[in-house]
Structure 1
């Protein structure tokens, strides 16, 4: 299988990805779209003509994001449209309510929302929070919207797309099936995060394996290093120690802007170069190369795209959420 290369780079912005594309009539859902790369992903898609739904936890943040995007894109004035709807990945009733309220086809689902390196926390079901939020919530949402995605493919005559936001954090851990919920091993916030990001990549493999014949393909994305609300659980000292910020809180110049961080998601979601492509992992607006020890922070590990691991994860996820 030939690696998919592109004319873009790590410095490419989401607006540059959609430059010249007409997304009129494309219906897209972006989870976690009230801030960070989520709102920038939505902004560029609306500017290119798409009808975008921001799936957000808090109504007030959703409305602020809608107003921001409308102000910058001229929503309804030759561009696409944007609206917000409530969805909390930790509350199964909101997932089902969101899916039940959806009417008609869906062309793209972008599973953008996520949390990182949280203190040890359990959901009411007893599940570890990062695995539950980052993977299980999106697993349940995608399955609830599967019919809409299939309808989107049938209506357009091209495959619908699911974009699953993984991370270079998947390097930290495979899915540890013997103790996914840290019931017997000591909890480590970065191992838990890494496991959830591996799950995000394996989910894209699983969707493609199971839904491709119905016209739905999925790929995983590493957006790059960006300072956003994702880092809200990290103490300042840890961010200093990692070299992410200086004493004044200024981000490391190597970090991407939010527009650059949104570029790979937008590319995988709508660009013609990704037509018919599934079960792959992208970074810096191109398909990632296999992980190498000398390429720190880049590449995809084999276990994150392993079909057998994906099957095992799918079975576990169905067991947990149905």
Structure 2
């Protein structure tokens, strides 16, 4: 199976990769679209003519973004809707309110390296937010995705997935010391595994799902990270070993999501991992690029789906 290549790269923007794409008549949801790369993802989809729903925790912030996107794109079919991924009744309400087909679902929202925190169900917060909330949302919208006759799901992962597989024996850190970056890593691995299994299960429905790594973007969440001295030293060592690594703008960070959501090169393609607007090859130890073999493992993808169903039952 050959890797998919495109004319784009790490400096491409969401506007670059969506140029010439016509999304008139298409409907899209972007979670976490009140800030960061979610805003630019939504803006690019709206610029291409899509109806875009910003699924956000703060309706006020979301509406300000919607108003700005309407003003900058001329597309009035942009609105905010309330969604809290860690509050299952909120997810159920969002799904219940949806009518008609859904062509593009961008599971963009996420948190990173948070202090040890658990939901009321006892789920580790990063796994609950980054994976379980999106799992509940996407499976809840399955009929709408089927009705689109060729829907695409974009699952935002991270190079951080190379830090940890999903540790099925102790997903919620009940028996091992909590590490914010290991917790983040396994949640981002879960994002890739979800795309693999969704594409397998829903192939006959015409639904494809792919995972993306947006790149290093100075979003509010990254800026607010509270790192220990050891973690800061590790980060400095990583930068020293890779001096050419650069920070992307939000528009550059959104490019891979938008490309995977819209490019005709991905018609019928699912279960893959993309970075810098290209399909990634295998992860090479000592680097932060490529996809770990365990993140594409079919058996682990199947197991994660079943475990997620059990947790949400």
1:73 positional shift: 1.1
- Structure 2 unmatched runs, 5+: 238-243
Q: Distance in 1 between matches of 2:56 and 2:136?
A: 16
Is the alpha carbon distance of 1:163 and 1:113 closer, same or farther for their aligned partners in structure 2, counting shifts above 3 Å?
same
1:69 corresponding residue in structure 2: 69
1:194 corresponding residue in structure 2: 185
Does the residue aligned with 2:79 lie in a helix, a strand or coil?
Answer: strand
Q: Distance in 1 between matches of 2:92 and 2:181?
A: 30
1:236 positional shift: 7.0
Pairing 1:137–2:133 present: yes
Query: Which segments of structure 1 move beyond 2 Å, counting only runs of 4 or more?
Result: 235-244
2:102 corresponding residue in structure 1: 106
- Structure 1 unmatched runs, 5+: 154-158, 245-251
Given the alignment, which residue of 242, 252, 266 partners 1:260? Answer: 252
The answer on whether the counterparts of 1:53 and 1:83 sit within 8 Å (CA) in structure 2 is yes
Q: Distance in 2 between matches of 1:243 and 1:25?
A: 47
Does the residue aligned with 2:117 lie in a helix, a strand or coil?
Answer: coil
Does the residue aligned with 1:184 lie in a helix, a strand or coil?
Answer: coil
1:89 positional shift: 0.2
Aligned length: 306
Per-residue Cα deviation, 1:196-237 (whole angstroms, up to 9, x for no partner): 000000000110111111111100000011010222541377
Given the alignment, which residue of 112, 118, 130 partners 2:114? Answer: 118
Q: Distance in 2 between matches of 1:235 and 1:189?
A: 10
Q: Distance in 1 between matches of 2:99 and 2:236?
A: 46
Given the alignment, which residue of 276, 283, 286 partners 1:284? Answer: 276
Q: Distance in 2 between matches of 1:278 and 1:190?
A: 27
Given the alignment, which residue of 61, 81, 101 partners 1:85? Answer: 81
How large is the Cα RMSD of the aligned pairs? 1.7
Per-residue Cα deviation, 1:70-97 (whole angstroms, up to 9, x for no partner): 1211223xxxx21110000011111111
1:6 corresponding residue in structure 2: 6
Per-residue Cα deviation, 1:250-290 (whole angstroms, up to 9, x for no partner): xx971111000000000001111111100000000010011
TM-score (norm 2): 0.94
The answer on whether the counterparts of 1:32 and 1:114 sit within 8 Å (CA) in structure 2 is yes
1:173 corresponding residue in structure 2: 164
2:16 corresponding residue in structure 1: 16
Per-residue Cα deviation, 1:295-321 (whole angstroms, up to 9, x for no partner): x11000000010000011011000001
Does the residue aligned with 1:39 lie in a helix, a strand or coil?
Answer: helix
The answer on whether the counterparts of 2:49 and 2:75 sit within 8 Å (CA) in structure 1 is no
Q: Distance in 1 between matches of 2:305 and 2:142?
A: 15
Does the residue aligned with 1:55 lie in a helix, a strand or coil?
Answer: strand
